[in-house]
């Protein structure tokens, strides 16, 4: 594993290795056991979109690993004035040891990796959010003790989260069911992948069907970053696609609820369900830190 661009590229074994290492690093952090695996290494973090969790968890994670995080706002880089990503990649490769990038187009991230001599990590594109889904898988394992055989249900927009959850869920042996409003289905990249798992994947528009028997219920915002102009139209199109008491009545009694955050209470999740499930949702947010540290160690540790 050279980069983390999409979960399509990495094996189930890579995913399990990352989750195991993440569990270990979480344990070590909680018990004050030092783990300076990246002493002297620098991670450049390019942000073309806003972030709370991704920025702070990568930044704190690098410090905890003994390394140095370098926040690079795309608008302050020459990239923001049109310098090609290929040249940014070749330049940064001469200075630092890894790059994390959050941007719009997946192609841009793939291009960065193509020209980079150092590992590249996708911190979210319009198409995928692999770091978040690794944290989600870690959280499911923590609450449920396993992944394979569990029923994972996603309700809402067929966005970056839906795409990565389909791939990550199916790769780790889960049954994945997705309900979106008509016209908001996941991307072909995820649906083509899911064709190989027809017995464990369903896609439809019916919440009851999708949530029925679920062990894990996941949702995400109706209008992702970059879709702000469609916000009002989406509010109408997504009406009813909400995780709430009624949705959870179809799921198993011990189902957990995940949300990558930020959440819009009263839209994709009710205020009541969000607060009732805050324990699960903020454990998921915490796990971004641990799982990304595992990814950083796997990609950047050289000794
Ligand atoms: N879930 C997530 O990626 O959060 P941020 O946008 O705050 O980084
Ligand atoms: N789908 C959301 C995820 C935010 C972490 C977005 O892209 O804005």
Residue 199: inside a domain: yes
Residue closest via CA to ligand 1's atom 6 equals: 51
> In this predicted structure, what is the pLDDT of residue 303?
66
Same domain, 201 and 266: yes
Q: What is the pLDDT of residues 57-104, one digit of tens each?
A: 999 999 999 999 999 998 899 999 999 999 999 999 999 999 999 999
Q: How many domains does the chain have?
A: 2
Residue 166's domain comprises 132-284
Q: Do residues 160 and 238 share a domain?
A: yes
Is 53 touching ligand 1 by the criterion CB < 6 Å? yes
If asked whether residues 146 and 236 sit together in one domain, one would say yes
Domain check: are 114 and 257 in the same one?
no
- The pLDDT tens digits of the residues spanning 112-165 come to 999 999 999 999 999 999 999 999 999 999 999 999 999 999 999 999 999 999
Question: Residue 143 Cα, ligand 1 centroid: separation in angstroms?
Answer: 21
Q: Assess if residue 1 is contained within a domain.
A: no
- Percent of all residues in the chain with a pLDDT value above 90, rounded to a whole number: 99
Residue 138 and residue 261 in one domain: yes
Confidence (pTM) = 0.98
**182 is a domain residue:** yes
Instruction: Say if 293 falls within a structural domain.
Output: yes
Q: Does residue 2 lie in a domain region?
A: no
The DSSP-derived string for the chain is ---BS-GGGS-HHHHHHHHHHHHHHHHHHHTT----TTTT-EEEEEESS--SHHHHHHHHHHHHTT-EEEEEETTTSGGGGT--HHHHHHHHTTT-SEEEEE-S-HHHHHHHHHH-SS-EEE---SS--HHHHHHHHHHHHHHHS--TT-EEEEES--SHHHHHHHHHHHHTT-EEEEE--TT-PPPHHHHHHHGGGGGGEEEES-HHHHHTT-SEEEE--SS-TT-GGGHHHHHHHTTT--BSHHHHHHS-TT-EEEE-S---BTTTB-HHHHHHTHHHHHHHHHHHHHHHHHHHHHHH---
CATH of the domain at 76: 3.40.50.1370
**220: annotated active-site residue:** yes
């Amino acid at each position: 594993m050279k980069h983390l661009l999409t979960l399509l590229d990495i094996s189930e074994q890579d995913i399990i290795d990352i989750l195991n290492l993440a569990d270990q690093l979480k344990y070590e952090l909680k018990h004050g056991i030092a783990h300076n695996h990246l002493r002297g290494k620098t991670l450049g973090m390019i942000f073309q979109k806003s972030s709370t969790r991704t920025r702070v968890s990568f930044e704190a994670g690098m410090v905890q690993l003994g390394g140095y995080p370098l926040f690079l706002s795309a608008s302050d880089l020459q990239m923001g004035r049109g310098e090609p990503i290929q040249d940014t990649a070749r330049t940064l490769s001469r200075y630092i040891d890894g790059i994390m990038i959050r941007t719009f187009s997946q192609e841009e991230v793939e291009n960065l990796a193509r020209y980079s001599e150092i590992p590249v990590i996708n911190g979210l594109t319009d198409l995928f959010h692999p770091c978040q889904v690794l944290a989600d898988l870690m959280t499911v394992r923590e609450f449920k003790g396993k992944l394979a055989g569990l029923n994972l249900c996603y309700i809402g927009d067929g966005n970056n989260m839906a795409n990565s959850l389909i791939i990550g869920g199916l790769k780790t042996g889960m049954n994945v069911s997705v309900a979106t409003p008509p016209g908001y289905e996941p991307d072909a990249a995820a649906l083509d992948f899911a064709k190989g798992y027809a017995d464990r994947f369903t896609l439809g528009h019916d919440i009851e069907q999708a949530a029925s028997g679920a062990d894990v219920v996941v949702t995400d915002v109706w209008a992702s970053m970059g879709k702000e102009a469609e916000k009002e139209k989406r509010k109408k199109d997504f009406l009813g696609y909400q995780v709430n008491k009624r949705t959870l009545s179809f799921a198993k009694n011990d189902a957990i609820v995940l949300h990558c955050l930020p959440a819009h209470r009263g839209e994709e999740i009710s205020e009541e369900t969000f607060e009732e499930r805050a324990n699960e949702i903020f454990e998921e947010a915490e796990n971004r830190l641990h799982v990304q540290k595992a990814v950083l160690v796997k990609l950047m540790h050289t000794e």
